[in-house]
């Protein structure tokens, strides 16, 4: 596949991925707005601990095979489908085994995560593990072929499920059961749709030799996934065990709202970037060009978004969650600002390591970050909820420094070049931040908040356009908007 053909597929894939995430991110906040007014924070806290268990088990059911199927270069279609069959049956077997383990020790697991007496709830919720094994492998084939149009359909069905299941059950007083049943129905529909539309169908084929070859790559992806899981969930585990479900609910829904907002961009670009870089892994010049181009495009939206949410976190909390979630404002602001930094300088670097077939580098980065993250979280949790919130949010920047060093010494991409590539957006976002703070001091009120936000957006893009290197990106964005209009 030449560069022109790959670029065309990447543009088309990004379009569908972006449409998918925009549609999803229009639906999910509306869903959360309704559920936040129907359910108490404790319900979200209970579901957060269940999600933590499911996500841990999911790592082993996937075992890194999904990334392998996207990244690996197969000789022909037959070889690709043989590997897919081995990955599928391995996933399904592991998922059923883990579900059985959870069913045997459900009370101990419930007590461990701070929800004693809810063991049966955890067992029922984990029924989605076998369902995920059906969909995860099929999704990897769609991503490999840049078929994000099909994934659009699956994603839309999934995000619309709360309107038909979760919200009605919440109205009927089912509390956390509404969220659990909604998730199960969504996973079931995903598995059905992907299986029906997929060219590949599971067959009774299995070779241990193929499994060994896949594990040589996937074992490191699995180890990396475990380290990422610890990074993502260590704070939830501490809040659930040291504090209570109320604070856990406040904390988790705040992170969920921010991550949902950021994912409009990351979910539309990161999977496509990984697929594209994987095809260019043997062409260093084109590989680097694709990385820098994507990093710059992502930074144009992500960095000002993080600064803006930090400035207007009270407004965002009031609109999205309601008055009973006022404590979430501080969590949302800090998490949004640090998320913008870590996405541009961290998440995209991880895709570089995996696309190069070197997941050990990503694992190394996670370990070096965890060596600092875990002690900081444990110590800060002893000083209360807010100490943990601020410490957990800002210690993420240490992970950025780790990625800088790995990119320089292992990949050969200079740190200064990575920073210089997005320097215009950083300058424009910081300047916009000062302007936004000044405007907030002039007047107060809901109407003025929206007016000041519009002023900040216009000011930001004006500053960005002043940099000659950013004008082609800006013009391309404007042309795409005109074309869609």
277-293 pLDDT, tens digit per residue, is 777 777 888 888 888 88
CB 68 within 8 A of CB 218: yes
205: three-class secondary structure by DSSP: coil
What integer pLDDT is reported at residue 376 of this predicted model? 92
Torsion of CA 218, 219, 220, 223, to 10 degrees: 120
Give the per-residue pLDDT at 485. Answer: 46
In the chain, the N- to C-terminal Cα span, in Å, equals: 31
Q: Cβ contacts of residue 263 below 8 Å, gap of 6+?
A: 21, 24, 25
Does 290 reside within a domain? yes
State how far the Cα of 473 lies from the Cα of 301, in Å rounded to an integer.
Answer: 12
Predicted pLDDT at 240: 75
Q: Is residue 262 part of a domain?
A: yes
Q: What are phi and psi of 90, to 5 degrees?
A: -65, -45
Number of domains observed in the structure of the chain: 1
Residue 271: partners with Cβ closer than 8 Å, 6 or more residues away: 17, 143, 148
Q: What is the DSSP letter of 347?
A: I
In whole angstroms, what is the distance from residue 129 CA to residue 187 CA? 9
DSSP state, 204?
S
Q: Is residue 460 part of a domain?
A: no
DSSP letter at 468 equals: G
Is 447 among the domain residues?
no
Distances (CA, A) of 479 to 16, 125, 244, 282, 476: 17, 46, 50, 32, 5
Q: How many CB atoms lie within 10 A of CB 479?
A: 10
Range of the domain at 397: 3-421
Angle (CA) 334 339 341, round 5°: 110
Convert the pLDDT of each residue in 293-324 to its tens digit: 888 888 888 999 999 999 999 888 887 777 77
Query: How far, in Å, CA of 6 to CA of 12, rounded?
Result: 10
Smallest CA-to-CA distance from 398 within 366, 425, 420 is with 366
Other C-beta atoms closer than 10 Å to the C-beta of 116 total 11
∠ CA 320-326-329, nearest 5°, is 75
* Structure confidence at residue 477 (pLDDT): 62
Which structure tokens are listed for 377? Answer: 């979280």
Phi and psi dihedrals of 282, rounded to 5?
A: -100, 5
Q: Which residues of the chain have pLDDT under 70?
A: 1-29, 32-33, 40, 61-64, 71, 147-149, 217-218, 221, 268, 270-272, 274, 476-485
Res 248: pLDDT: 82
How many CB atoms lie under 10 A from the CB of residue 416? 10
> Does the global pTM surpass 0.85?
no
Token pair 């007047």 is found at: 443
Q: How confident is the model at residue 20, as a pLDDT? A: 59
* pLDDT at residue 352, rounded to an integer: 85
Whether 247 maps to a domain, the answer reads yes
């Amino acid at each position: 596949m030449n560069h022109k053909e790959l670029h065309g597929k990447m543009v088309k894939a990004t379009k569908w991925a972006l449409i998918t995430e925009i549609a999803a991110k229009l639906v999910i906040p509306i869903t959360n707005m309704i559920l936040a007014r129907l359910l108490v924070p404790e319900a979200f806290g209970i579901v957060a601990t269940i999600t933590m268990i499911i996500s841990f088990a999911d790592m082993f059911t996937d075992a890194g095979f999904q990334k392998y199927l996207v990244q690996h270069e197969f000789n022909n279609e037959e070889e690709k489908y043989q590997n897919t069959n081995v990955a599928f049956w391995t996933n399904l077997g592991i998922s059923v085994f883990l579900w059985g383990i959870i069913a045997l020790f459900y009370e101990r697991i419930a007590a461990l995560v701070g929800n004693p007496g809810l063991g049966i709830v955890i067992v029922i919720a984990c029924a989605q593990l076998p369902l995920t094994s059906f969909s995860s492998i099929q999704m990897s084939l769609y991503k490999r072929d840049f078929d994000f149009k099909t994934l659009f359909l699956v994603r839309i069905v999934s995000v619309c499920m709360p309107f038909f299941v979760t919200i009605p059950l919440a109205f009927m007083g089912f509390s956390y059961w509404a969220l659990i049943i909604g998730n199960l129905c969504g996973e079931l529909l995903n598995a059905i749709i992907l299986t029906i539309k997929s060219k590949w169908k599971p067959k009774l084929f299995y070779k241990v030799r193929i499994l060994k070859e896949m594990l040589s790559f996937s074992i490191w992806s699995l180890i990396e996934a475990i380290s990422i899981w610890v990074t993502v969930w260590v704070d939830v585990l501490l809040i659930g065990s040291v504090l209570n479900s109320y604070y856990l609910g406040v904390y988790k829904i705040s992170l969920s709202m921010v991550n949902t907002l950021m994912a409009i961009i990351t979910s539309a670009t990161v999977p496509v970037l990984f697929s594209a870089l994987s095809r260019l892994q043997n062409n260093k010049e084109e590989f680097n060009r694709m990385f820098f181009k994507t990093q710059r495009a992502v930074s144009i939206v992500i960095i000002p978004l993080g600064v803006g949410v930090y400035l207007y976190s009270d407004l965002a909390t009031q609109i999205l969650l309601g008055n009973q979630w006022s404590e979430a404002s501080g969590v949302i602001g800090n998490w949004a600002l640090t998320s913008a930094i870590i996405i541009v300088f961290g998440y995209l670097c991880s895709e570089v390591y995996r696309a190069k077939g070197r997941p050990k580098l990503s694992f190394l980065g996670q370990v070096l970050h965890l060596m600092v993250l875990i002690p900081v979280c444990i110590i800060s949790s002893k000083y209360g909820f807010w100490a943990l919130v601020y410490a957990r949010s800002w210690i993420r920047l240490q992970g950025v420094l780790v990625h800088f060093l790995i990119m320089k010494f292992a990949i050969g991409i200079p740190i200064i070049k990575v920073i210089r590539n997005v320097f215009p957006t950083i300058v424009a976002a910081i300047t916009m931040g000062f302007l936004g703070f000044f405007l907030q001091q002039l007047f107060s009120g809901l109407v003025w908040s929206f007016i000041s936000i519009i002023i900040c957006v216009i000011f930001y893009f004006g500053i960005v356009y002043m940099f000659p290197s950013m004008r082609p990106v800006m013009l391309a964005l404007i042309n795409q908007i005109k074309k869609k209009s």
